[in-house]
Structure 1
Amino acid sequence: MTPRPPHPGRQSRRPRERQAKGASRVGERFEAEVGPVAHGGHCIVRLPEPESRVVFVRHTLPGERVVLEITEGTEGDKFWRADAVEVLAPSPDRVTAPCRFAGPGLCGGCDFQHVTLARQRELKAAVVREQLSRLAGLDLDVTVEPVPGDVDGLHWRTRQRYVGLPGGRRGMRKHRSHEVVEIDECLIEAPQRPTYVVGPHAFDVADDGFWQVHPGAPTVLVDTVLDYLRPAPGERALDLYAGVGLFARFLKDAVGESGRVVAIEGDADASKLSKRNCPGLVATAGRVDEVLRGEVHDEPFDLVVLDPPREGAKRKVVEQVVARAPRAVAYVACDPAALARDVAIFAEHGYSLTRLRAFDLFPMTSHVECVALLVKSDSGLR
């Protein structure tokens, strides 16, 4: 691997605020063989001596030989970040990005536009497998499934935010940067606004409230959760991080008048809307761990749905869940690392991951949605 001088026309990205650990290496170039994909939309390159660094490289694929350019890193950092700015030996899975704003130094919204859709899903599956292996000690076969609602991985994002520019123009930020790239078209943006209808139910959602952005997401997630939990009339269900009541509505249908559904959501407006969307729902607004310790601290539940934000449920919530001894937990996760960490905590308390599905709800990006079924190890349920 031969070091190359900095590119003379390169403008260094502004890294996140952090204490410098020696001289900057930003702008330096190296030839390198690309290693495996890693969590976060990049691949791993290991530079030999004298650098001896792990570099997380975007815009490349495993097995390629590239020229990478350091975008973040100093002499004292344990790892650096980089973009692949030249591809010397391309992967057979490399394609021309459909969007002209995708690539090094451009819009940071998409990680994998240079990759075939089939290979994108294989890369995401590899990340899910690696996180479950490393953090939860599990060896699972994972397949990332396509979901109806996009057009060859494009035109699926029903909610999109832009950076406003003078004169009514708009832009998107570069990766890990405050710099803005002006754009006139985003190919992953859907031409239509979201429709808040799932099966027989319509939902009220605030203009700035959370709703899945892929058109096919709500239906496939509800169907999977119900298939995993198989709620029965008279059962008691707990819906955590409940939003506007998407899962609660269908749980309420299944458990019937003789059952009970309790929803906890941190956003007060969403919690209020969940009561409107799900008549008869017991909904409480507040931090999930605090509400579990307070208002429903001694209430048992048969079923639990966990749909936390990207950072996951974490130990305080997981231990409150297992204290209710539910027969089954459906965990909806948008971050495989957080999922794997929480699965390991469940395992400490006798709950095993018995089923897992992964969905490509964010094509052209590195993000993936998983639904996991956790059951008491001695329950005999699968």
Structure 2
Amino acid sequence: MTWAGRQFTVEVGPVAHGGHCVARHEGRVVFVRHALPGEEVVVSVTEDRGGSFCRGDAISVLSSSPDRVTPPCPVARPGGCGGCDFQHASVSLQRSLKAAVLSEQMSRLAGLSLDVEVEELPGGPLAWRTRARLATDAEGRPGFRAHRSHEVIPVDGCPIAAPGTVDQVVGRVWPPSSEVSVAVDASAETHIGPSAAVETAARRKWRVPADGFWQAHPDAADLYAEVVADWATLSPGDAAWDLYSGVGLFAAVLAEAVGPEGEIIAVESDPPAAEAAADNLADLPQVRIFQGRAEAVLRASVGRPPAVVVLDPPRTGAGRKVVEAMAARAPKQVIYVACDPAALARDVATFATNGYALESLRAFDAFPMTHHLECIALLTRQ
């Protein structure tokens, strides 16, 4: 019999990957949102597909954590917006929870014991998100979807959104049951829908699709470029690869290191992003851009063997085929930029079986108030 709709009291255990904590009731695991480790809460089960676990929301806190705070957003609550997972936790605890998740994933999936610090980015936990995609309900009101649901929760604003984004969309009626993308770029210009935004990072200006991928935190792209530049051991004339290259941020960093006699292969599957990369890097003839899937370009053995490979795959990670094909090219270093700790840990384990060891790992709180974080890993060939 399904537990959906049931309510019961639980002692909340450790945080788990995905923005919830683990509790147990009558021999089953309950993944509880809106709770914190060590609390006693009343859970309302929101999803039960049978098996060993179900999902629920903490609808009442009987014994609260000293790190519990009042969420700054009125819809960051059970049954509300599904975007923010940790608004009820102090900012310092949020980073500790993310560090715990990263350490647990690296231990369980990669067999590595790591003491990880999640580093704070400038600007604080609110008003950082420069890009957002809102859904509209049947009446055309903009909002965000509930957790694991298609239901649209209309909003009047969003405390994590930067000025010039969500505030420019709310209060207006849009086509019903659709989506609205909005971004504010480095010149403080708001873009609603498809257009060309201008961003700055790595001492360059970038023209990027406003509704495409660019780091949402205004300090993230520059910081990640600095880490890649610091870690990549390249000499003039070397070859290097930038897989899942987007509009070319890391390719530009690598191109500066190898100089005009070097060779940079940048691979991007999304046609608009690859086209933007070609425009952005037109002044760097050592960069060759390929539009296609990373595994296809790897199989084609394009270019010289790379000394360094940088990859920034989607949330699902690179996967075994890409990692094995990359390892076959025998780069001395791999710099892996990851937005999902589980996918990173799985790929680190695959790298290990192909002769690469994790040398350094940094983690960044680039998505405050959510369970997400960004990691950059340095792997070296043994």
TM-score, normalized by length of structure 1? 0.89
Aligned equivalent of 1:291: 297
Q: What CA deviation, in whole Å up to 9, does each residue of 1:140-163 have, x standing for no partner?
A: 110000112x3x301111011112
Cα distance, 1:220 vs structure 2: 0.8
Aligned equivalent of 2:174: none
Query: For residue 124 of structure 1, what is the amino acid of its counterpart?
Result: K
2:104 partner SS = helix
Query: For residue 34 of structure 1, what is the amino acid of its counterpart?
Result: V
* Aligned-partner Cα distance in 2 for 1:216–1:146: 11
* Aligned-partner Cα distance in 2 for 1:330–1:340: 14
Q: What CA deviation, in whole Å up to 9, does each residue of 1:241-291 have, x standing for no partner?
A: 000001001111111011110001111221121111113220001111011
* Aligned-partner Cα distance in 2 for 1:336–1:180: 28
Query: For residue 16 of structure 2, what is the amino acid of its counterpart?
Result: A
Matched, 1:99 2:64: no
Aligned equivalent of 2:110: 136
2:144 partner SS = strand
* Aligned-partner Cα distance in 2 for 1:194–1:368: 22
Matched, 1:214 2:217: yes
Cα distance, 1:199 vs structure 2: 3.6
Cα distance, 1:207 vs structure 2: 2.5
Aligned equivalent of 1:122: 96
Equivalent runs, 1:207-286 vs 2, <5 Å: 207-279=210-282, 280=285, 281-286=287-292
* Aligned-partner Cα distance in 1 for 2:36–2:185: 33
2:324 partner SS = helix
Q: Is the contact between residue 299 and residue 324 of structure 1 (CA under 8 Å) also seen in structure 2?
A: no
2:346 partner SS = helix
* Aligned-partner Cα distance in 2 for 1:200–1:222: 10
Q: What CA deviation, in whole Å up to 9, does each residue of 1:198-249 have, x standing for no partner?
A: 1420111112221000001101111111111133211111000000001001
2:131 partner SS = coil
Cα distance, 1:164 vs structure 2: 2.2
Equivalent runs, 1:75-94 vs 2, <5 Å: 76-94=50-68
Q: What CA deviation, in whole Å up to 9, does each residue of 1:327-348 have, x standing for no partner?
A: 1110000000000000000000
**1:46 pairs with one of 9, 24, 45:** 24
Aligned equivalent of 1:3: none
* Aligned-partner Cα distance in 2 for 1:294–1:213: 33
Equivalent runs, 1:299-338 vs 2, <5 Å: 299-338=304-343
Aligned equivalent of 1:18: none
Aligned equivalent of 2:154: 182
Q: Is the contact between residue 202 and residue 226 of structure 2 (CA under 8 Å) also seen in structure 1?
A: no
**1:159 pairs with one of 119, 122, 131:** 131
* Aligned-partner Cα distance in 2 for 1:121–1:368: 9
* Aligned-partner Cα distance in 2 for 1:290–1:168: 41
Cα distance, 1:372 vs structure 2: 0.2
Query: For residue 24 of structure 2, what is the amino acid of its counterpart?
Result: R
Unpaired runs of at least 5, structure 1:
1-22, 378-382
Aligned equivalent of 1:205: 208
Aligned equivalent of 2:178: none
Matched, 1:62 2:37: yes
Q: Is the contact between residue 217 and residue 366 of structure 2 (CA under 8 Å) also seen in structure 1?
A: yes
Query: For residue 55 of structure 1, what is the amino acid of its counterpart?
Result: V
Cα distance, 1:295 vs structure 2: 5.1
* Aligned-partner Cα distance in 1 for 2:73–2:321: 43
Q: CA RMSD of the aligned region, Å?
A: 1.3
357-366 or 198-207: bigger deviation: 198-207
1:204 partner SS = strand
Cα distance, 1:106 vs structure 2: 0.7
**2:185 pairs with one of 173, 177, 194:** 194
Query: For residue 154 of structure 1, what is the amino acid of its counterpart?
Result: L
Q: Is the contact between residue 207 and residue 280 of structure 2 (CA under 8 Å) also seen in structure 1?
A: yes
Q: Report the identity percentage.
A: 55
Cα distance, 1:27 vs structure 2: 1.1
Query: For residue 323 of structure 1, what is the amino acid of its counterpart?
Result: A
